[in-house]
Every structure is written in C-alpha cells, then in structure tokens.
Chains A and B, each alone.
Chain A
Amino acid sequence: MFVIAHGIVGRTDLPIPEWLFGWAAAVVLVVSFVALAVLWPQPRLQDGGFRPLPPWLSRALTNRVTDVLCGLIGVGLLGLVVYAGFSGVQVAMANFASEFVFVVFWTGMVGVSVLFGDVFRAFNPWRALGRFVAWISQTAAGGEMPAPLKYPERLGYLPAAAGLFAFTTLELVAAEGSKPSNVAIATLVYSAITFVAMALYGVDQWSRKGEAFGVYLNLFSRISPWTSRDGRVGLRKPLSGLAAWKPLPGAVLLLAVMIGTVTFDGAAEAPIWTGVAPDIQDAFVSLGLSPEHGLEAAFLIGEMLAVGLVYGFYRLGIAGARSVGGDLSARELANAFVHSLVPIAFAYVAAHYLTQLLYQGQSMIFLISNPLGDDGTDFFGTADRAVDYGVIGATTAWYWQVGFVVVGHVAALILAHDRALVTYDKPRLAVRSQYWMLVIMVGFTSLALWLLAQSNG
C-alpha cells in the first residue's frame, strides 16, 4: 500500500514533454557559455545603489499607522488560522487554516517577496506580537528593559533551517499534516518556540536571524529591487540585495533545505521514489511500525536524503572551485557563493508551486466568506464559489515553469560571476572558478527540469 499524503490537490501538472525538456536544457547550456564570454569584467552588483522614493511617498508607505495596521492584519490572520484549524471542518481544502498556510502564505508570499521586497517583515505576526509585548512591558516597567542575550554566532541559521525543515516535514511527510487541526497545533507550537526565543534574544534579532519564515522570505525579497534603508523606502538594482547579504554560519544548510525539500516534493511523484518508497516502508513495518508510520519514516528519509544531496553537491562544486587556486578556505568560498543559490531556490518554488497557487489560491474567494467550511456561513456572498481549474492550460503552465527555471539559472550565474570578480584578485582565477560554479548551476537547473519532466510520471 502506498498513500501519497497530499491534502491539497485538485489538479496536478502534466510532465513537460521531452522536446521542451531537451530545448530548455539546450537553452540553459547556450546561455551559460555565452554568459561566460560576455558578462561584465567589473563587479556591478556589489554596490546596489539606492534611490529613495520621494519622502512623502515613503512616509505614506511606512509610518506608525501602517506599521500597526500591518501587524494587526498579520496577528489577525494567525489567530484565524488557529481558530479555523480547531473549530472548522477537518477537510484541508474547505478550511481556511490549511489553504492559507500551505498555499497563500508558503508559496504566495514567496512571489510577493520577489516582486515587492520584504513585505512579510511588516506583517510578521510573531514580530508584531513581540514588539507589542515589549512595548507594554517597557511602559509598565517605566523605563529600560534588560538587554537581550547576544545571539550565539555559531547558531547562525541553524534554527531557521530547522524550522523550515519541520514545516516541510509537516507538509510533505506527515500523513495528516494538512489536516486543519494539525496545522493549528503546529502554528501554536511554532509560536510558543518563537516567543521564548524572542524573549531570550530580542524581538528584532530573532526575527532577522532565527525566525524561519522571516529569514526565508527575507532571502527571496533580496531578489527584488524594493528595499528600505534608514526608514526610507527605495529602489536598488535587482539581485543586489543578495550581493549585500552577509550570510551567517549554516547558510549553505539553509539553502539546501530550501532547494532539497522542493526537490523531494517533486521527486516523490516520480518513479524513482514511488519505486523504492514501499520497500523502505516495509523495512520500517518489519521493525514494528504501523504501515502509516512506516510510510512517514520512509518519506522523512527521502526528504533528508534530498536535502543531503543538494548540500553535498554544492560542497563538491566548492571543493572544485577551490582547486583552481587562490587562498580561500572551503568555508569562505562556500559562504561567498551561497547567495547565488537563492534565485535557484526561487526557480524551484515557482516552477513547482505556480499552478497550485493559481488553483488553490482561488480558494480564498470562498474561504473568506466561510473560513470554517461549515454549512450556511456566508459573510460576503462568495461561499459557494469553487476553484476554476481551467485558469491556465497545461502548455502555458509548461512555458512558465521552464521560464522560471531558465531565468533563475541566469540570475544565479550573474550573481556568482559578479562575486567571483571581487573574491579573486586575479581575473584568470575568477574565470576558472566560474567553470565550477557553472557545473553547480547546470546541475541544479537540470535537476529542476528533470523534476518537471517527472511529475505524475
């Protein structure tokens, strides 16, 4: 027996046809080599420039009122997720909790961040609640609060990577992960952990370094030209936010989780996984697990394997790049180029979840009228709408998916090239190191295309 635990599925994608796969791979290779030949000889992204908006516009966008308003909306949505999860019908596709968390928040916010910058920071409900509590206690104590602990440097992005891994485990591994009440429980557990950590390390520090979704969406927002500096909203060169990113320890693992979990989600539909998963499941059943838990254990192994493979492949490429010379340690080199994986991670998310977002995102139309999915509730008269699965044709979806993968690949090449120019003092070394980076990028991009060709195979 083999149950694929996917709660939120109406329509899934057809695999991309072979001719498109072949052509996409060819385009990737041509683009890569042409890029090597023609990319700029002087670094261009390391200083992203900053052109602030007119002061009145900037003030209209970010001020005390919008700050509080966005925070309230974030907290309200968090509350609604928990409430609907516990009190609503226990059907993922008819309950606000599951649809909002897995579709609108998890995949929709990635797109919003890439287009409009770090919008989530304003809506982050944990940050908003943390600041509110800090403000209350400061007022009550009538003065200075004790300073938070210093964030342990070595912890780096490990809490964020662990948080993202736990979330994707809920989504992809747990048999009942998308059940609304489980979504609500997970939300409460995560909130509790976050508040304890904020109490220890400070609201602001934890939001930037430890809070998994804040870190995740902030990385994607660095692709965007929108940013804010000293309270001013403004524009920078696209991608330059990534060049300016100072990764903490564990950044490679964080990116490996981001790419590896999507990889696993795609591969889990493919024969390569559906062929072996029952055997792993049987092995666990013979160890005494129930079939359901045996399957979960098998999926957990698959997920960890995918993350491990992505991590290992990147480190291998870095070892290669190190062999060309220069006196950088493997760790320095790995950190120097890890930002170039962010557009690739975005390409993975976009290619894999685009259609799900287009279909299931529509569920918000009826769920705002009836968030609990019960009979009779209809706040805005839209409760009996249904998802229109015809909004995008299979062929159009293929072109978008392949387009995202190719554009992500090019963005990654540009970032790596630009960084190589400042990392190596000899231009010759910079170019030779990029052969290795090219191997990494082509590897990840081919994997993304292969996954698209495997879906539902």
Chain B
Amino acid sequence: MSNRARAGLIVLAVAIVAVAFIALRPSDSSDKADDPAGNAETTATTPADDGAETPTATAESAPPPPKEITLRDGTPQGGVQRIEVTKGDEVRLQVRTNETTPDEIHLHGYDIEKETRSGAPANFRFKADIEGVFEIESHTAEDAGKEPLIARLVVEPS
C-alpha cells in the first residue's frame, strides 16, 4: 500500500465519522424520548390527605405538584423510584412516613437533609442545578442496618 493510499484512507475515515457525528447528534430534547422505562417520573400518589401545602405559584408558571415518596415502616411504597427531572428544574419533593419517630431524609450530592414523621412530611424544594444521579436515603434505616435507599433523583442535562 502506498503512503498516499494510506493517508487517503485515514482522511476518508475521519471525514466520514465527523460528518456522521454531526448529522446524528440529536437535538437536545429528543434523547429522552426513547426512555423505555414507563416508570419514569412515577408518582406513587397517595392523595394529599392531611392538607399538605398545595402548590403555590411563586415561579412564572404554575409548578407541577411535588413528587411524593411514601414510606411504610421504613420501606418505600412501590419500590425505589427514579425521580427524573431536567437540569434547571425547580424540584419539589415530599417524603411521608407512617412512623411517629422522626426520620432524617438525606438527598446526597445536593446534601439536603429534612426531617419527616407521621403527619409532618419532609418537604424538599430546590433548583436541580447539578446533573447526575443522586441517592435519597433514610438515616433511620441506615442506623438500623437496613437498606437506606428510598429513591434516586436523576437530573438529565437540559
């Protein structure tokens, strides 16, 4: 193989890859559409029974209702759910429990801790400004040597 042919091959390969890359890179919004998990943004809703604050529209438009996690005897109802949001979203999260002893709920990464107990749910409200996957854990479960993970917060790039 002559040197010219070799160089030509490389240039061609690089060109094909570069063109295809630009052509195939999806627009920012389309890559979430093919998420196969139908359980994205699960809202295992136990209706807001004890008059928890209804969404107060402070932002420009009416914000969606808070995502809820319900703990029964320390275990999340409906399993460990993935709470999927997009970077920049104003996130509202409510953790309820039927236990009377207070439980510390810890959102890793954002490092927010809130207390929850029966009748007094923990309300998280923050701006999702860090991308990634973050665990939400119960410190009571952790101290008892049980599975502490109650949910995952998934922040996708905007």
Interface residues of A (CB under 8 A from B): 1-4, 9-14, 17-19, 22-23, 26-27, 30-31, 34, 37-38, 292, 355, 386, 389-390, 393-395, 455-456
Residue B59, interface by CB 8 Å: no
Minimum C-beta distance from B11 to chain A (A): 10
Residue-wise interface mask of B (125-158) relative to A, using a CB-CB cutoff of 8 A (1 in contact, 0 not): 0000111111100000000011111001011110
A12-B31 in contact given A30-B13, A34-B9 (Cβ < 8 Å): no
**Closest residue on chain B to residue A395 by CB atoms:** B157
Q: Which residues of A contact B145 (CB under 8 A)?
A: 292
Contact across chains for B6 and A13 when beta carbons are under 8 A apart = no
Bound CA span A9–B131, Å: 15
Bound CA span A394–B158, Å: 10
**Closest residue on chain A to residue B1 by CB atoms:** A37
Q: Which residues of A contact B20 (CB under 8 A)?
A: 23, 26
Bound CA span A46–B24, Å: 40
Contact across chains for B156 and A394 when beta carbons are under 8 A apart = yes
Minimum C-beta distance from B126 to chain A (A): 13
Q: How large is the interface on B (under 10, 10 to 19, 20 to 34, 35 or more residues)?
A: 35 or more
Q: Which residues of A contact B17 (CB under 8 A)?
A: 23, 26-27, 30
A389-B130 in contact given A2-B147, A23-B21 (Cβ < 8 Å): yes
**Closest residue on chain B to residue A41 by CB atoms:** B1
A390-B34 in contact given A1-B147, A27-B17 (Cβ < 8 Å): no
Smallest CB-CB A-B distances: 3 pairs: A394-B131, A11-B132, A11-B109
Interface residue ranges of B4-55 to A (CB < 8 Å):
6, 9-10, 13, 16-17, 20-21, 24-26, 31, 34
Contact across chains for A23 and B24 when beta carbons are under 8 A apart = yes
Our pick among A11, A12, A34, A389 for the contact of B10 (Cβ within 8 Å) is: A34
Minimum C-beta distance from A57 to chain B (A): 37
Contact across chains for B9 and A389 when beta carbons are under 8 A apart = no
Minimum C-beta distance from A166 to chain B (A): 24
Total residue contacts A-B, CB cutoff 8 A: 82
Contact across chains for A12 and B132 when beta carbons are under 8 A apart = yes
Bound CA span A19–B13, Å: 19
**Closest residue on chain B to residue A39 by CB atoms:** B6
Minimum C-beta distance from B76 to chain A (A): 12
Residue B72, interface by CB 8 Å: no
Residue B111, interface by CB 8 Å: yes
**Closest residue on chain B to residue A38 by CB atoms:** B6
Contact across chains for B154 and A38 when beta carbons are under 8 A apart = no
Contact across chains for A38 and B132 when beta carbons are under 8 A apart = no
Q: Which residues of B contact A26 (CB under 8 A)?
A: 17, 20
Contact across chains for B13 and A389 when beta carbons are under 8 A apart = no
Minimum C-beta distance from B136 to chain A (A): 12
**Closest residue on chain A to residue B132 by CB atoms:** A11
Q: Which residues of A contact B148 (CB under 8 A)?
A: 3
Bound CA span A217–B47, Å: 56
Our pick among B13, B111, B155 for the contact of A34 (Cβ within 8 Å) is: B13
**Closest residue on chain A to residue B24 by CB atoms:** A19
Bound CA span A33–B67, Å: 50
Q: List 10 A-B contacts (CB under 8 A).
A: A2-B147, A9-B135, A19-B26, A22-B24, A30-B17, A38-B9, A389-B110, A390-B130, A394-B131, A456-B154
Contact across chains for A4 and B149 when beta carbons are under 8 A apart = yes
A30-B109 in contact given A17-B31, A19-B31 (Cβ < 8 Å): no
Residue-wise interface mask of B (97-115) relative to A, using a CB-CB cutoff of 8 A (1 in contact, 0 not): 0000000000011110000
Contact across chains for B131 and A14 when beta carbons are under 8 A apart = yes
Bound CA span A1–B20, Å: 45
Identify 18 new A-B residue pairs, CB closer than 8 A, beyond the known A13-B132, A38-B6.
A1-B146, A9-B135, A10-B109, A11-B134, A12-B135, A13-B133, A23-B20, A26-B17, A26-B20, A30-B16, A31-B13, A37-B1, A38-B1, A386-B111, A389-B132, A394-B132, A394-B156, A456-B133
